[in-house]
Amino acid sequence: MKYPILILVGISLLTGNVYSQDTIIDKKLVEISSKVIEITDNEIKYRKWGNLQGPLYNIPRKEVLMVIYENGQREIFKEIANSDLQKDENILQNGDSSDRQELNLATEPLPDSSFLSDPNRLNQDDMVTTTRGNKVEYKPSRINVGLEPFQLGMDTEIRIIRNAFNMGLGYLYYFPKDLPVFSSQHVNVYGSFYLPVNLLLENYEKQNKGLFPFVHLGYGVNEVTVENDYLGTTERLYSHGFIWKFGFDYLFTNSFGVTLTSYEARNTIFGVVYSF
């Protein structure tokens, strides 16, 4: 017998001795002691057992797993059933396919179902499953090398919008091959728009790994040190303006990988990336 029907029957055994009241059991296996007043197509109306003269409460029918009445009769709501559970119910219920089905006590032995007595534990597991896809920890720092001319650089980013946008600071130092340029360096501040590919493919187990293509838009300042032939000294020249870059990071683990970046489609650098 598959696990869904074992859970249902396990709930029946665990709650089988509660006959003095109606018991509503929701999909998270939380029990509500109550007096059921009415069941409609969309909701179940009830009063809390401890305050039968109190207000009337409603719970959406699609959120309910089972109702156990005070006489011991049980009703399962098929809105909670997937195809496997429906097959098991059909076997257990002798083919009854009505919208609500009565479930009698099971006659076959069950495995240990003590885990059903801890709804909080199940709720925590559900929470991990439903929120796993919201935890991409992509905050890359990169060490880069370029070859024409030889360059060394690094940049680092902080998260601004999860799974979409970071802010970063970059630095690149050039080693010119020819005089009169002695050195050149570039500093830039940029916004990084990126795509977490595994997350978009719903591959949540590897969402912090794999391919992260990005586009950087920002503002940069260049400093170039040149030789002044007339004075026999060096002089620093500055320029600044809008910059753009594109490339990708590929993370082999949650924190380490390789990177490639193209500066305005004219200068390509590559290196390693680490993310924490």
Position with higher pLDDT, 139 vs 127: 139
Side chain identity at 253, as an amino acid letter? T
CB atoms within 10 A of CB 153: 20
**pLDDT, tens digit, for every residue of 74-116?**
888 765 444 445 555 555 555 554 444 444 444 444 444 444 4
Ramachandran angles phi, psi of 198, nearest 5°: -65, -35
Gap between the Cα atoms of 77 and 100, Å rounded: 5
- Kindly indicate the confidence band of residue 7, based on its pLDDT and cuts at 50, 70 and 90: low
Kindly state the percentage of the chain with pLDDT values over 70: 68
> In the prediction, which pLDDT does 130 show?
39
Q: Establish whether the linkage from the previous residue to 180 is cis, with ω within 30° of 0.
A: yes
CB 273 within 8 A of CB 251: yes
56-70, 97-111, 148-162, 256-270 — which is least confidently predicted? 97-111
Please report, for residues 222, 248, 249, the alpha-carbon distance to residue 187 in angstroms, rounded to integers and kept in the order given.
Answer: 7, 20, 21
20-34, 84-98, 208-222, 259-273 — which is least confidently predicted? 84-98
> In the prediction, which pLDDT does 196 show?
93
Q: Residue range 215-229: average pLDDT?
A: 85
**pLDDT, tens digit, for every residue of 30-57?**
889 999 999 988 899 999 998 888 899 9
* Domain boundaries of the chain, sorted by first residue: 3-133, 140-275
- Kindly indicate the confidence band of residue 267, based on its pLDDT and cuts at 50, 70 and 90: confident
Q: Is 235 helix (H, G, I), strand (E, B) or coil?
A: strand
> In the prediction, which pLDDT does 1 show?
46
Is the pLDDT assigned to residue 131 strictly greater than 70?
no
Domains 3-133 and 140-275 share a fold: no
Gap between the Cα atoms of 143 and 169, Å rounded: 12
- Strand order through the sheet with 64-68: 57-60, 43-48, 31-39, 22-26, 64-68, 74-77, 100-102
Is the pLDDT assigned to residue 260 strictly greater than 90?
yes
Question: Is 140-275 a CATH 2.60.40.1190 domain?
Answer: no
Kindly state the percentage of the chain with pLDDT values over 90: 35
Name the token pair of 200.
Answer: 């978009």
Side chain identity at 213, as an amino acid letter? P
> Exposed/middle/buried for 169, CB within 10 Å: 0-12, 13-18, 19+?
middle
Torsion sign over Cα 115, 119, 124, 125: positive
> In the prediction, which pLDDT does 263 show?
87
Architecture of the structural domain at 3-133: Roll (2.30)
Please report, for residues 30, 181, 188, 225, 237, the alpha-carbon distance to residue 230 in angstroms, rounded to integers and kept in the order given.
Answer: 87, 15, 32, 15, 16
Torsion sign over Cα 20, 26, 30, 35: negative
Query: In which region does residue 95 sit, left (phi positive, over 0), alpha (psi from -120 to 50) or beta (all else)?
Result: left
Q: Residue range 152-169: average pLDDT?
A: 93
Q: Residue range 109-130: average pLDDT?
A: 45
Gap between the Cα atoms of 236 and 82, Å rounded: 72
